[in-house]
C-alpha cells in the first residue's frame, strides 16, 4: 500500500498552513510540483479500488448469514393467515411481512403496505411505468400528455434520475437546504404547474448529503396543493433505520409522511418506499411500498397482470429472522459498529488534509451510506478522473444531478462502506491528493 511518508507530510503541512488563495504563484508552483511527484508514484503502485457505489461490505453481509437457516425442510411454511408461501397467491404479500415493513417505515398500518420483491428501485420504476402507460387512478396516462415534469432535489440519487430520464420526463433541479428541499421552489412548481407530476425524495440521511428533512419540511410536503390531480411524492425512505450511532440523541426521527398526508387531507399524494437491501442481503432483501388504501387498489390492478405474486418464501424468511422491528434495530446497530469507523476515518482524513485550505467542504452525516464532497467550482470531474487514473474508482462527477450535469461541477459522492479499513485509508489519501492537485491547477490557471 502507498501511504504518504511522515517526513514529507510534515513538511507539506507546514507549507499549507496558508490557504491557496493567499500563496504566491511561485509557492503554488512549488506545491504543485511536490504533489504531482507524489501522485505519479501512486499511479505506478498498481492499486485498484472501487468506491463508486454504496455497497455493504462482506463483513456487513455476513451479519445476516443466519437468515439462511431460518427456513428448513421441516419448517412450517404457512403465513399467519394460513397461506402456503410455496404456492401462488398473496399478491400484496404475507401479512407479517407487510407489518414488519410498515414498522420499519415508522408504523404504517398493514392495510397500507405491499410487501414486494428484493428491490425498492424496481417498485419505483413500476410506479412511474404504470403512470406513463396507464395513468394514476383514472387520470390521463403520462405518455398522452405533451409535457411531464418531475422535481429533483439536488444533489440526489442518480438511479432516481435515471428512471425519469428513461421515460423522457423533464427533470427540474430543486436545491437541497440544510433541512430538506427548498420548499418555496417546490410549492411554486407543484401548485402552479399541472405538468409537474412528481418529486423524488430521500427524507432521512439522504443520498448523498446525509440530510434529514425537518418536521416542518415533512409537514409542508403533506400540505401541498398540487395543480395536477395525479401528482405523487416519491418518498424513498431508504435509510430510515440506518443510524451510525447508538446514542438515541444522534438518531434522526421524522414524522410519518403517510399519516401527515392523511391529516392534511391528501391521503393519496404519497408513495413511500423502503427495503432491507442494506439490512439483510443486498441482492436478496425485501422491499415494500406504503400508500393510501385507494392507491393500493390502483396498484393492485397493475400487479394482477404483472405478477402472480412476489417471493413469499423470502418474505417469511425475513420475518422469522428479524421477528419484529426491535430485531431490525438490533441488527442495524451491528451494521453501525462496522460503518461508523469507516465514516469517521474518511471525515478525519478530509479534515487533516483539507481543513483551512478553502478548496473543499464535506458533509458529516449521522446515518445513511454516503459523504457528499464539494470541490472548488469546475474541479469535480477532473478530481474523479485523476483518482481513476491512479486506481480508485468513484461515482462519476455529475451523477448526483439529473442528466449527469452538475451546473457547477463540484459535487462528488464518497461511499465508505465497501472497502476495508486499510483500503479506505489508501483511497481517501489519494482523494485528498487529487483534490489538492486539481485545486492548484485551477488556482494557477486563474492567475494566468
Express each pLDDT in 311-358 by its tens digit.
Answer: 999 999 999 999 999 999 999 999 999 999 999 999 999 999 999 999
Express each pLDDT in 99-153 by its tens digit.
Answer: 999 999 999 999 999 999 999 999 999 999 999 999 999 999 999 999 999 999 9
pTM above 0.85, yes or no: yes
Are 302 and 181 members of one domain?
A: yes
Examine residue 291 and say whether the peptide bond preceding it is cis (omega within 30 degrees of 0). Answer: no
Are 223 and 316 members of one domain?
A: yes
**CATH number, position 82:** 3.40.640.10
**CATH number, position 25:** 3.90.1150.10
Last-in-domain residue among 262, 295, 323: 323
Q: Write out the chain's pLDDT in tens, 448 residues.
A: 333 333 333 333 434 447 888 899 999 999 999 999 999 999 998 889 888 889 999 999 999 999 999 999 999 999 999 999 999 999 999 999 999 999 999 999 999 999 999 999 999 999 999 999 999 999 999 999 999 999 999 999 999 999 999 999 999 999 999 999 999 999 999 999 999 999 999 999 999 999 999 999 999 999 999 999 999 999 999 999 999 999 999 999 999 999 999 999 999 999 999 999 999 999 999 999 999 999 999 999 999 999 999 999 999 999 999 999 999 999 999 999 999 999 999 999 999 999 999 999 999 999 999 999 999 999 999 999 999 999 999 999 999 999 999 999 999 999 999 999 899 999 999 999 999 999 999 999 998 7
Are 287 and 152 members of one domain?
A: yes
Q: What is the predicted pLDDT for the residue at 87?
A: 96
Last-in-domain residue among 305, 323, 341: 323
Are 317 and 250 members of one domain?
A: yes
Considering only CA atoms, which of 421, 317, 431 is closest in space to residue 64? 317
Are 45 and 182 members of one domain?
A: no
Give the cell for residue 118.
428484493
In angstroms, rounded to a whole number, what is the distance separating the alpha carbons of residues 46 and 398?
27
Question: Does residue 72 sit within a domain?
Answer: no
Are 259 and 133 members of one domain?
A: yes
Are 306 and 341 members of one domain?
A: no
Are 209 and 276 members of one domain?
A: yes
Question: Does residue 42 sit within a domain?
Answer: yes
Domain count, the chain: 2
Are 316 and 362 members of one domain?
A: no
Half-sphere exposure of 191 (CA within 13 A, CB side): 12
Q: What is the predicted pLDDT for the residue at 6?
A: 30
Question: Does residue 146 sit within a domain?
Answer: yes
Q: What is the predicted pLDDT for the residue at 440?
A: 97
Query: What is the domain extent for residue 346?
Result: 6-59+330-447
In angstroms, rounded to a whole number, what is the distance separating the alpha carbons of residues 376 and 435?
9
Question: Does residue 66 sit within a domain?
Answer: no
Last-in-domain residue among 294, 323, 352: 323
Are 39 and 127 members of one domain?
A: no
76 CB-near residues (< 8 Å, 6+ apart): none
Considering only CA atoms, which of 203, 189, 213, 117 is closest in space to residue 160? 203
Examine residue 45 and say whether the peptide bond preceding it is cis (omega within 30 degrees of 0). Answer: no
Taking the chain, what is the end-to-end CA distance rounded to the nearest angstrom?
37
Question: Does residue 81 sit within a domain?
Answer: yes
Are 153 and 271 members of one domain?
A: yes
* Rg of the Cα atoms in the chain: 24
277, 53 contact by CB (below 8 A): no
Report residue 102 CA to chain centroid gap.
20
- The dihedral over CA atoms of 136, 140, 141, 143, expressed in degrees to the nearest 10, equals -150
Q: What is the predicted pLDDT for the residue at 8?
A: 35
Are 218 and 288 members of one domain?
A: yes
Q: What is the predicted pLDDT for the residue at 7?
A: 33
Question: Does residue 84 sit within a domain?
Answer: yes
Question: Does residue 69 sit within a domain?
Answer: no
Question: Does residue 50 sit within a domain?
Answer: yes
Give the cell for residue 217.
419540511
In angstroms, rounded to a whole number, what is the distance separating the alpha carbons of residues 105 and 286?
13
Amino acid at each position: 500500500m502507498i501511504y504518504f511518508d511522515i517526513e514529507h507530510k510534515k513538511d507539506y503541512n507546514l507549507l499549507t498552513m496558508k490557504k491557496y488563495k493567499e500563496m504566491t504563484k511561485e509557492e503554488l508552483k512549488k506545491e504543485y510540483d511536490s504533489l504531482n511527484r507524489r501522485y505519479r508514484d501512486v499511479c505506478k503502485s498498481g492499486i485498484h479500488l472501487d468506491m463508486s457505489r454504496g455497497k455493504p461490505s462482506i463483513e456487513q453481509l455476513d451479519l445476516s448469514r443466519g437468515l439462511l437457516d431460518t427456513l428448513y425442510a421441516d419448517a412450517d411454511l404457512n403465513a399467519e393467515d394460513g397461506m402456503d408461501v410455496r404456492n401462488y397467491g398473496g399478491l400484496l404479500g404475507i401479512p407479517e411481512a407487510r407489518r414488519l415493513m410498515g414498522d420499519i417505515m415508522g408504523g404504517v398500518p398493514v392495510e397500507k403496505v405491499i410487501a414486494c420483491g428484493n428491490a425498492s428501485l424496481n417498485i419505483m420504476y413500476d410506479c412511474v411505468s404504470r403512470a406513463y402507460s396507464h395513468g394514476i387512478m383514472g387520470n390521463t396516462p403520462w405518455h398522452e400528455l405533451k409535457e411531464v415534469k418531475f422535481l429533483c432535489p439536488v444533489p440526489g440519487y442518480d438511479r432516481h434520475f435515471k428512471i425519469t430520464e428513461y421515460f423522457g420526463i423533464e427533470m427540474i433541479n430543486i436545491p437541497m437546504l440544510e433541512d430538506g428541499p427548498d420548499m418555496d421552489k417546490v410549492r411554486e412548481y407543484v401548485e402552479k404547474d399541472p405538468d409537474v407530476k412528481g418529486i423524488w425524495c430521500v427524507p432521512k440521511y439522504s443520498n448523498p448529503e446525509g440530510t434529514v428533512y425537518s418536521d416542518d419540511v415533512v409537514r409542508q410536503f403533506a400540505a401541498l396543493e398540487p395543480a395536477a390531480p395525479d401528482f405523487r411524492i416519491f418518498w424513498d425512505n431508504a435509510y430510515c433505520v440506518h443510524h451510525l450511532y447508538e446514542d438515541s440523541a444522534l438518531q434522526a426521527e421524522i414524522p410519518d409522511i403517510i399519516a401527515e398526508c392523511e391529516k392534511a387531507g391528501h391521503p393519496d399524494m404519497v408513495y413511500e418506499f423502503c427495503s432491507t437491501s442494506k439490512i439483510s442481503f443486498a441482492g436478496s432483501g425485501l422491499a415494500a411500498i406504503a400508500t393510501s388504501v385507494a392507491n393500493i387498489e390502483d396498484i393492485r390492478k397493475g400487479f394482477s397482470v404483472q405478477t402472480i405474486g412476489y417471493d413469499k418464501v423470502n418474505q417469511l424468511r425475513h420475518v422469522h429472522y428479524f421477528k419484529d422491528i426491535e430485531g431490525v434495530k438490533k441488527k442495524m446497530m451491528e451494521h453501525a459498529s462496522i460503518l461508523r469507523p469507516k465514516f469517521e476515518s474518511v471525515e478525519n482524513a478530509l479534515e487533516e488534509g483539507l481543513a483551512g485550505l478553502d478548496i473543499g467542504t464535506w458533509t458529516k452525516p449521522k446515518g445513511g451510506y454516503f459523504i457528499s464532497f464539494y470541490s472548488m467550482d469546475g474541479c469535480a470531474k477532473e478530481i474523479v478522473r485523476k483518482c481513476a487514473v491512479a486506481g480508485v474508482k468513484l461515482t462519476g462527477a455529475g451523477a448526483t444531478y439529473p442528466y449527469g450535469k452538475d451546473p457547477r461541477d463540484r459535487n462528488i459522492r464518497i461511499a465508505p462502506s465497501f472497502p476495508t479499513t486499510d483500503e479506505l485509508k489508501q483511497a481517501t489519501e489519494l482523494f485528498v491528493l487529487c483534490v489538492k492537485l486539481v485545486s492548484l491547477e485551477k488556482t494557477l490557471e486563474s492567475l494566468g
